[in-house]
A = this chain, B = another copy of it.
Amino acid sequence: ETDTASSKSLNSEGCFLEDALKAQKREAREGRGRHFPVQACSLGVQAALPSWRPLVGPFFRIGQMSNVELDDELLDPEMDPPHPFPKEIPHNEKLLSLKYESLDYDNSENQLFLEEERRINHTAFRTVEMKRWVICAMIGILTGLVACFIDIVVENVAGLKYKVVKDNIDKFTERGGLSFSLLLWATLNSAFVLVGSAIVAFVEPVAAGSGIPQIKCFLNGVKIPHVVRLKTLVIKVSGVILSVVGGLAVGKEGPMIHSGSVIAAGISQGRSTSLKRDFKIFEYFRRDTEKRDFVSAGAAAGVSAAFGAPVGGVLFSLEEGASFWNQFLTWRIFFASMISTFTLNFVLSIYHGNIWDLSSPGLINFGRFDTETMVYTIHEIPIFIAMGVVGGILGAVFNALNYWLTMFRIRYIHRPCLQVIEAMLVAAVTATVAFVLIYSSRDCQPLQGSSVSYPLQLFCADGEYNSMAAAFFNTPEKSVVSLFHDPPGSYNPMTLGLFTLVYFFLACWTYGLTVSAGVFIPSLLIGAAWGRLFGISLSYLTGAAIWADPGKYALMGAAAQLGGIVRMTLSLTVIMMEATSNVTYGFPIMLVLMTAKIVGDIFIEVRLVGRDWGWEGLYDMHIQLQSVPFLHWEAPVTSHSLTAREVMSTPVTCLRRREKVGVIVDILSNTASNHNGFPVVEFAGDTQVPRAPGAVDRPSHTCAWPRAWCVDWKLCTHIDSEEALPPLQDASLPRVFKLFRALGLRHLVVVDNCNQVVGLVTTKDLARYRLGKGGLEELFLAQT
């Protein structure tokens, strides 16, 4: 029952051992290892294992740690692939992967830590505090600069591309042979996407997608390898430029958020693993807690740079990541956000020629909505709610389609070459579909007074342009702005309808490709298109009443669609308010987002009844499909019947206060143990005496620990009291959950009334319970 699969690669553990030995040698060289041989004692570690007792829950019987291999009976029979697929790929959403380690957001209160903290007096604390602000300013500036770089490069390269294609189309429209233009366009796009996809697939796969799910996981306390590396940043930035220029239905906003986080992690740690450089600065901040705080600031700065929404950035960071709200931290996050927007606006104001003018309207992301000309009245509120319902339904459909697509990709398209080919295919198809739609469109609009960037005349009369081309023949971000602000009558309903339909499927197909790309802007674009269509219809119905402005409805549609897909409310409302520089629309936008969320959640539940409790949005779905042990905000509602004794894993490998280093190295290198925390206990003869157990972490990513145990073994015994809550065996799951969530724990030692260690609860033990159809259900744990 408690067997564990030892198929896990020894790679990371091997690395650790090398590191530890190196550290040990270095310590010895520096003369700090003097206490080390004296304190070793002779008892083997096997004796230290506490005898575990059979545990029976009073209400609910759940076995111990059910580690399962990927057996065939777990697979959906219809979806069973004809050939065996590699075991490292998760394929079932009822699995929880054991490969992810947790971050420890609770400072381990061992003696070293306490001594260091006690050395800090008031003045030193000020210096530390000052450094925090300086780091936040640097995060803001760098994130702003990266955003500028992406913006400017995309604008120029995409401009060049559209110019070349436009000239070509103009040439061939006259003399026939537009298929050459199509070929040129599709080839150009595919070439950009080929490069963009190849660097992601072959160099750094974690740079794929928007990066928001990964950052959510990081802030939640799950360590995703390489997610905040410099290499990832470089690939992410190049990748997103190539994807957008390659004409895919993607946005550059998600990647900016990821970029901000990488920058934050890099600066705050004062070193780079990718460059193998340690700058020996900010060493105080080299702990999970501090790193997380800076990464939240980086994510906020990213949002702030992406949408020009500093407050939205702070709220995004808090809504998606933080659990313990601290005023000082929030102020720093806000500062980083503001600096980031400021840097971006400053550079762009120079670039756009409105030098120095930071309030220029060109800096508003989605264009300024002017309330004087676009009022809304109370009568429109039911209409907005109806739009929210539509957005919720469309969002749920989008997510469901993307779910099937992702499952397909996980099973069949897992080789890098295939992934690159798929991305190229999507790029080519996107260009082709767009071309065909433009070609067959008969929606001609007068050129005069229009703001379209690359007007394609095609078969329109002189002085007119093809309106379908205005939507397709542009970067998605600019298309959103046109849909929001172009005067009524710029688009035919037919054009908008076709565009919505096609773009919906294209965006859905694109999200999840092995390219660096976000889903915000495509969602907004789909929503803006059908929202505008909605507005035009209303305008017909009401006889072109003054209030039925298509731009306003495009905005509401965009909010509804995005809300239906990602299911965020507070931060999204504020982001939309800031990106349109309009406070008055806050209330309708909130209504729309709230409705979209509620409807989307209901829809999923109805549609997938018996399958799943449902993900809350596209990001959560992808987190779940990766089998990440993600802790949500609250424990499942019906989990009060479970106690810690029932969820914990046993047996626990324990260490004694004094232990041979060889034994420790053995234990640490034995990957068959299910957890990375080893309670430290005291023994009187063979029985464990009722003493306070501390816990030792397997030092997966911090360097503090090996240093500690080489100096003095006693120092390794963290007196982490709250990790050993004695009567916790009777505590209910929600209570344990709250402890983990509020304190950011990594593991919790469970002891009985006599203070004997009986088990260990980790994040995975908590994340595996969720609400299913028939009440609480358990996920399987697997070494995938």
Contacts and interface: CB of A to CB of B under 8 A. Distances in A.
A769 to B, nearest CB: 14
A98 interface: no
Interface in A725-747: 725-728, 730-732, 734-735, 738-739, 741-743
Interface string A580-592: 0111111100110
Contact of A587 (B121, B341, B357, B638): B341
Given A360-B375, A377-B357, A584 B587 contact: no
Interface string A744-761: 000000000111000000
Given A346-B378, A583-B583, A725-B721, A641 B730 contact: no
A379 to B, nearest CB: 6
A739 B310 CA distance: 31
B726 A719 contact: no
Interface in A323-338: 323-328, 330-331, 334-335, 338
A325 B334 contact: no
A120 interface: yes
A359 interface: yes
Contacts of A114: 640, 732
A524 interface: no
A185 B379 CA distance: 45
A594 interface: yes
A315 B739 CA distance: 25
A262 to B, nearest CB: 24
A722 interface: yes
A461 to B, nearest CB: 36
Given A109-B735, A122-B771, A327 B584 contact: no
B721 A359 contact: no
Contacts of A724: 726-727
Nearest to A356: B377
A314 interface: yes
Contacts of A325: 318, 322-325
Contacts of A728: 721-722
A731 B719 contact: yes
A372 B331 CA distance: 29
Contacts of A590: 310, 334-335, 338
A583 B369 CA distance: 12
A754 B721 CA distance: 14
A113 B359 CA distance: 56
Interface in A296-320: 310-311, 314-315, 318-319
A455 to B, nearest CB: 28
A27 B473 CA distance: 77
A633 interface: yes
Interface string A201-240: 0000000000000000000000000000000000000000
Interface stretch (A395-403, A500-508, A530-538, A569-577): A569-577
B719 A730 contact: yes
A450 interface: no
Contact of A731 (B109, B319, B361, B743): B109
Contacts of A638: 120-122, 125
A356 B331 contact: no
Given A356-B377, A377-B358, A637 B125 contact: yes
Contacts of A310: 586-587, 590
Contact of A755 (B315, B742, B755): B755
A641 B577 CA distance: 47
Contacts of A713: none
A393 B284 CA distance: 33
A118 interface: yes
Interface string A61-94: 0000000000000000000000000000000000
A25 interface: no
Nearest to A739: B722
A692 interface: yes
Contacts of A341: 587
A553 interface: no
Interface in A627-666: 633-634, 637-638, 640-641
A740 to B, nearest CB: 11
Given A311-B311, A311-B573, A319 B327 contact: yes
A723 to B, nearest CB: 10
Given A358-B378, A359-B375, A743-B742, A574 B731 contact: no
Contacts of A584: 358-359, 581
A346 B381 CA distance: 12
A342 interface: yes
Contact of A357 (B125, B314, B375): B375
Nearest to A106: B738
A265 to B, nearest CB: 22
A320 to B, nearest CB: 9
A745 B725 CA distance: 15
Contacts of A109: 731-732, 735
A727 B319 contact: no
A171 interface: no
Contacts of A754: 690, 755
A729 to B, nearest CB: 8
Contact of A356 (B117, B378, B586, B753): B378
14 contacts: A118-B640, A122-B637, A125-B638, A311-B577, A318-B325, A325-B325, A331-B594, A357-B375, A357-B376, A358-B587, A692-B753, A724-B727, A725-B726, A755-B755
Interface of A: 59, 107, 109, 114, 117-118, 120-122, 125, 310-311, 314-315, 318-319, 322-328, 330-331, 334-335, 338, 341-342, 345-346, 349, 356-361, 368, 371-372, 374-379, 569-570, 573-574, 577-578, 581-587, 590-591, 594, 633-634, 637-638, 640-641, 690-692, 694, 719, 721-722, 724-728, 730-732, 734-735, 738-739, 741-743, 753-755, 771, 775
Nearest first, the 6 closest Cβ-Cβ pairs linking A and B are: A692-B727, A742-B742, A117-B640, A325-B325, A356-B377, A125-B637
